[in-house]
A and B are shown apart, each in its own frame.
Chain A
Amino acid sequence: MAARSREAETELARELIHGTPGAFERFVEAFRTRLFQYSLMVCGQREDAEEVAQETLLKVFENFDQLREPERIRPWIFRIARNACLMKRRKSAFAPARELSLEELMPVRDDGSAERRFEIADWSALPEQKVLQSELRQVLEEAIGELPDIYKTVLLLRDVEELSTQETAEILDVSEDVVKTRLHRARLAVRRKLDEYLRTHGN
């Protein structure tokens, strides 16, 4: 992911509000692709995601003077994007949210042996490189994409956008405990997909 420090975003927000030349272009560049990618994962349609990115930026520029604390620019923007996504998804809002239970996400234990073991791939061999190998990236993308919506949004906001538990709770209008519970289950589900991949395509 491109380097995106909260500090740099805060500085950019300050420049934007002061009308610093070039701030507008840099702001659009910094957020448009991210908003599109977040929305694509949530809405599932390119067309919807393009619209959400544009509508979000429009609302951001219209209401920028209402952002009291520039350091909250990231959660503020994703709150707007989240609401725009909800509007897009009203058509498919009839699908009930599927719950992931902890039980189903526990690793399978191979019973009988004296030594307790989980069936688990060898993760230690996973390279620590910066750029994800394309096949693994694809598996990760599918794993996130397959998550039920309530888990997917939490994972995208917490682990991909690196927002705090509190910020994520505010964006989604849920308690911090709900964020923590959903995040854990989302990670466990993604972990399981990656584990399956590593076991069949391991080194």
Chain B
Amino acid sequence: MSDPMRHFRSCHEIFAELSAYLDGELPEEACREIEEHLHGCSPCEAFLVSLRKTVELCRRYAPGALPGPLREEARHALWRAYEQMLARRRNSGL
């Protein structure tokens, strides 16, 4: 039996904190309570797997759309801004 003084948290309670748990943003005590819950609750455990995989998919996600080619005048405007910035830096003695 676990410590009767320890609050056994409900599915509902841990549901709100699962992202913070995955991101390692919860204090140690809260992590332990969640792990205790997950240990005895397979639906929540399966749910957490699905949430973790969702995050992994987002990290691997590469949007399909690509911009059109960079037009020469647009490229030139960027280059000019870059050169001016460098010149300003040189003049300020950096």
Residues of A within 8 A of B (CB): 1-2, 16-17, 19, 24, 28, 32-33, 36-37, 40-41, 46, 49-50, 53-54, 57-58, 61-65, 102, 106-107, 109, 116-118, 120-121, 123-124, 126, 130-132, 136-138, 140-141, 144, 155, 159-160, 162, 165, 180, 183-184, 187-188, 190-191, 194-195
B69–chain A nearest beta-carbon distance, Å: 10
Which residues of the partner chain B approach A190 to less than 8 Å between Cβ atoms? Answer: 54, 58
Which residues of the partner chain A approach B68 to less than 8 Å between Cβ atoms? Answer: 50
Closest A residue to B56 by CB, please name it.
Answer: A128
Given known pairs A65-B89, A165-B25, A184-B20, the reply for A130 and B65 (CB within 8 Å) is no
Closest B residue to A102 by CB, please name it.
Answer: B16
Which residues of the partner chain B approach A195 to less than 8 Å between Cβ atoms? Answer: 50
Decide: A36 and B85 in contact? CB cutoff 8 A.
no
Decide: A191 and B51 in contact? CB cutoff 8 A.
yes
Given known pairs A53-B67, A65-B88, A180-B19, the reply for A160 and B61 (CB within 8 Å) is yes
Decide: B63 and A37 in contact? CB cutoff 8 A.
yes
Task: Name 15 extra pairs, CB < 8 A, besides A136-B57, A138-B64, A159-B59.
Answer: A24-B79, A28-B75, A40-B65, A49-B67, A53-B67, A61-B78, A62-B81, A63-B85, A102-B16, A116-B43, A124-B49, A132-B61, A132-B62, A188-B19, A194-B57
Closest B residue to A35 by CB, please name it.
Answer: B67
**In the complex, what distance in Å separates the CA atom of A19 from the CA atom of B65?**
31
Which residues of the partner chain B approach A183 to less than 8 Å between Cβ atoms? Answer: 19
A54–chain B nearest beta-carbon distance, Å: 5
Judged by a CB distance under 8 angstroms, whether B55 is at the interface is yes
Q: Which of B32-55 contact A (CB under 8 A)?
A: 41, 43, 46-47, 49-51, 53-55
